[in-house]
Amino acid sequence: MDSAHQKFTEQYRYSLDNLRSDYMEEIELFDTEFWELPQRAARLSAAVKRYKTSRMVSFILNMTIDRNLDMTPGLARKLCVNLFARTGSQKILVGVFGTAGRERKSNSNNEEVVVQMTLAYREQANEYWKETLSDIRIVQSEYQKAIGGK
């Protein structure tokens, strides 16, 4: 699972600093003379989605390590849906949890394991998600204050 963690960190992790940076970049590009609200809103929405996806995959990755699960993209997707009501990015799930040439089904990918993991981690996932949403609100509030003067 070290390679999955390394792949995630190097290729897919989108941190709170990345989110804040993307919002601040929009402030730097902000121009009251040029109407670009729909495009700006789309870019900011995409940044929030990247942050949420990164946080969700990070949680699943840590779960995998804690429980020594044989994680696959399909199992990760099921856990994302059960714990966060989100499917996540198939590209990221395959990139992090996929194994080229895999020929056998995961021992962990059965309904019983999914239910057990969901029950075991639901409360922790809820708290984690509250933190995630709070982070987003803080960055959005900073953005609103900054553009208020423009």
pLDDT digits (tens, 9 = 90+) for 80-116: 999 999 988 999 999 998 877 666 666 666 788 889 9
81: tokens are 């849906």
Q: Give 123: exposed, middle or buried? Use CB within 10 Å, 0-12, 13-18, 19+.
A: exposed
What secondary structure, in 3-state letters, does 29-59 show? HCCCCCCCHHHHHHHHHHHHHHHHHHHHHHH
- The pTM assigned to this predicted structure is 0.87
pLDDT digits (tens, 9 = 90+) for 119-133: 999 999 999 999 999
Average pLDDT, stretch 61-75? Answer: 89
The residue extents of the domains of the chain are 2-148
116: tokens are 């057990």
